[in-house]
Amino acid sequence: MSVILVTGSAGFIGSHLSHRLLARGDQVVGLDNLNPYYDPTLKQARLDRLEALPGYRHARINLEDREAVAALFADVKPQGVVNLAAQAGVRYSLENPAAYVDSNLAGFGNILEGCRAVQTGHLVYASTSSVYGANGNMPFSVHSPVHHPITLYAATKLANESMAHSYAHLFGFPCTGLRFFTVYGPWGRPDMALFKFTDAILKDQPIDVYGEGKMQRDFTFVDDIVEGVIAALDRPAQINPDWDPVVPDPATSGVAPWRIFNIGNSHKVELMRYIEVLEAKLGRKAKLNLMPMQPGDVARTEADITDTRAALDYAPKVLVEEGVSRFVDWYLDYYKDG
């Protein structure tokens, strides 16, 4: 049994991960401030389910509250930390950049300081496929340079990877960054496409389809994401003895126990196909409002998970047909009373 600190535990991925850790016998300390970026009642419902389970304890504090985070680490002394708390959303970063600086930079700095203070056994933290930015090489490889993020959200996540490397080098605790690819599934966020599309179709309202539906995404079901997180958590990053400082590998390090992995499905799906699967499950046709791509969007994403398979024994299982169906079943049950 281990004590695992999960930040963002009332969030979409964090709540699923916390359930999975508790089910295997770990104790989970969750950190989440239930901020109103999206419907706090959904976050509270996730939290209520967790707090009903033995082995879960919650700390309702802000990630950017340095003293509160430090006190939590000193009290809990976690063996492992999974940092999922962040200001999410690519498009929202155009409206409120300060939220990303506060949570994703200052807040992540507080997490690193907490890990340093207690010398935690392993820090696993969420990065994002958005760090690939203007990179056009497909599928996206962790061994490719990522110097051109095109949103502030992506830039903050890329900064997290660099911050973690410096702490892993200076203070010796292992750090693993996971670049998530378009996560979806039950208990998902209302600001994400599948949630918005389902809501609009059931209300007979048009849906905004950016990129005229031609964008391609590596849609990854939340259960597959969680299995990737746990596999990484159980395998602390190590220094790469073959690392060449003359030709440095961006995914590993020769001076720090630090590693980067893609966590994706490795199958790109066109947005229109995603909508067709949803229409079939709902038994209704969507009213499409075809629109151009938005600032910060990329035409396609696809994860190269070669390293993830080899190092973490990672094997995503859920394709969009099953994943969308499971989301809709949850949605209809959760909102069955209106």
pLDDT at 212: 87
Per-residue model confidence as pLDDT tens digits over 49-103: 999 999 999 999 999 999 999 999 999 999 999 999 998 877 788 888 999 999 9
31 pLDDT tier (thresholds 50, 70, 90): very high
pLDDT the model gives residue 225: 98
The percent of residues in the chain predicted with pLDDT above 90, rounded, is: 91
Q: Is the pLDDT of residue 262 over 90?
A: yes
Mean pLDDT confidence for 190-195? 94
Q: Tell me the angle at which helices 320-334 and 271-282 cross, rounded to the nearest 10 degrees.
A: 50
pLDDT (0 to 100) of residue 258: 98
Q: What mean pLDDT is predicted for residues 37-48?
A: 95
Residues 6 or more apart in contact with residue 203 via CB below 8 angstroms: none
273 Cβ neighbours under 8 A, 6+ residues apart: 320
Structure confidence by residue, pLDDT tens digits, 273-310: 999 999 999 999 999 999 998 888 888 999 999 999 99
Q: Where are the domains of the chain?
A: 3-184+221-266+302-316
State residue 167 phi and psi, 5-degree precision: -70, -40
User: How deeply is 54 buried, as exposed, middle or buried, from its count of CB atoms within 10 A (0-12, 13-18, 19+)?
Assistant: exposed
- With 80 as the cut, is the pLDDT of residue 319 above it? yes
* Whether the predicted pLDDT of 338 surpasses 80: no
Listed in sequence order, the DSSP H helices in 34-188 are 40-51, 66-76, 92-95, 97-100, 108-118, 152-171
Whole-number pLDDT of residue 214: 92
Is residue 42 over pLDDT 80? yes
Please say if the pLDDT value at position 1 is more than 70: no
Residue from 37, 125, 153, 274 carrying the catalytic annotation:
153
pLDDT value at 264 more than 80: yes
Predicted confidence at residue 89, as pLDDT, reads 77
Amino acid residing at 42:
L
* Residue 330 confidence (pLDDT): 98
Rg from Cα positions in the chain? 19
Mean pLDDT throughout 215-232?
Answer: 97
40, two tokens: 């706090």
Task: Please tell us whether the domain made up of 3-184+221-266+302-316 is placed in CATH 3.40.50.720.
Answer: yes
153 is annotated as an active-site residue = yes
Q: What is the pLDDT of residue 6?
A: 98
The pLDDT value given to residue 294: 85
pLDDT tens digits, one per residue of 129-165: 999 999 989 999 999 999 999 999 999 999 999 999 9
- pLDDT for 297 equals 85
Query: For 158-177, what is each residue's pLDDT tens digit?
Result: 999 999 999 999 999 999 99
CA distance 301 to 322: 20
